[in-house]
Each structure stands twice: as C-alpha cells, then as structure tokens.
Amino acid sequence: MVESMVEAISSIETTCLQHLKLRDCSSAISFPGGRLPASLKTQVISNLKNLEFPTQHKHQLLESLFLYNSCDSLKSLPLVTFPNLKSLPIENCEHMESLLVSGAESFKSLCSLRISQCPNFVSFWREGLPAPNLTDFEVLQKGGDCPGLAMARAFGNFCLKDYGVASVPDVSYRNLTNEDKFVVLASDGELEFHLAIRVIKVSIKSQHRLLN
C-alpha cells in the first residue's frame, strides 16, 4: 500500500496535497526526486524503518513532521531543510543521534519540539537554537537515562522563549536517594536548596505524564 502511494505521488501532479500519512511498511522505499511533495504541510511517518528520508532539498511549506519508529538510515536531521516547521515530534527512532542547525538560519515558526525514546540521541546543537517562539520542549526516555546528552541550559527555565540562543553544558545522570540535597541556581541568580524527595516527586510526576 505504501509503495503504491509513493508511486502514485511520482506519477501525478501533487500541487494540492497538504497532508500525507505513511505507515507500516518494511520495504525499502524513497520519495520520488528525493523530496517531499512541494505543497505538503503535514507529514506523518510511522513504522517505516527502511524509508530514505529526503534531506537534500528545502520543504518550504511543511509545518508539522512526525517521525515514529522509522528511517533507520537517518542519524542527523537538518532543521534547515524545514524553515517554516512548527511542530517536530520524534519517537522511537533508535538511530537518530542529533539535530543539525545552521547558525545563519532562524526558526521563528518552531513552537514544539519533542524527542521521545531515542536512546542514541546525544546532541541538539553546538551554537544554540535560533527559535525564539519555542515554548514546548521535551526529551523523554522511559526506564532509563540519556547517556552523553548535551542540551541547552535555558530549556530548564524557558529562557529560550525570550532569547532563542543558549549555551550547551554537559548533562550527567545519577540515581537519587532521600539523603541527597541539591543547590539550584535560578535564572534570576537566586540560590535555592531542594531535598531529593522533592526532586523525586517531580520525576515521578513526569514519568506519569509519559506513561499516560
């Protein structure tokens, strides 16, 4: 079914096609001409592990891209390919390692970015993310940590919404106990002390959100 749909796209004019959903195919397939249909605004790709995702051409009209358990050959996704993207959820893409960003580009349309169950995901961007309207950001890894993950400090306090570009510190992971205490430096420069039990409660609440 998926192969037939891709073949149909290559044989007809797709100037009116705005929403496309492809799912559940184990065959090796690719988009005709190495690009998505030019008129496409929403693309959903689910359970297509052998799909060659096109990253060589810009897709100016695409606003929403959802990748689920697909595109095993895709290790890095260049955001410059989608200059007007508003929403980008990526889930269960085992080989996805990073998002690529060019410092010369500004992603003013990007509002939502979610990375879920991508165990090899290790990096976002080295020089900050120019996305001043990004308000929804999540990195979720059920039942484990994200070893080696580097991310922008401002995601923790949503400074990214105001400034758009943030530095990239190292992120480490450890098991928490009731005896642990944490010193938290807020974005306004104030220091706060938090017991581990409070941090654990926040973690549990986040886990419930993931499971639901």
Per-residue pLDDT reduced to its tens digit, 100-144: 876 667 788 988 888 888 888 876 665 556 777 887 777 776 555
For residue 46, the model assigns a pLDDT of 92
10 has pLDDT over 70: no
Answer whether 182's CB lies under 8 Å from 196's CB.
yes
Higher-confidence residue: 151 or 62?
A: 62
Name the residue among 114, 119, 125, 126 with its Cα closest to residue 147.
119
Which has more confidence, 181 or 133?
133
Spatial distance between the Cα atoms of 145 and 140, rounded to a whole number of angstroms = 9
Is residue 76 scored above 60 in pLDDT? yes
- Judge whether residue 98 has pLDDT over 70: yes
Q: Is the pLDDT at 38 greater than 60, yes or no?
A: yes
Inter-residue contact 104 to 128 (CB < 8 Å): no
Biggest CA pair distance of the chain: 65
Distance CA 74, CA 118 (A): 12
pLDDT at 130: 74
Of residues 166 and 175, more confidently modeled = 175
Mean pLDDT of the chain: 70
pLDDT at 196 over 60: no
Check: CB of residue 156 under 8 Å from CB of residue 131.
Answer: no
How many angstroms separate the first and last alpha carbons of the chain? 31
Listed in order, strand segments (DSSP E) in 81-130 are 87-91, 98-100, 112-116
Mean pLDDT to the nearest integer, 36-52: 89
Share of the chain above pLDDT 70, in %: 54
Instruction: Kindly report which listed range (41-45, 57-61, 106-110, 138-142) carries the lowest average pLDDT score.
Output: 138-142
What pTM value is reported for the model?
Answer: 0.64
Res. 16 pLDDT band, cuts 50 70 90: confident
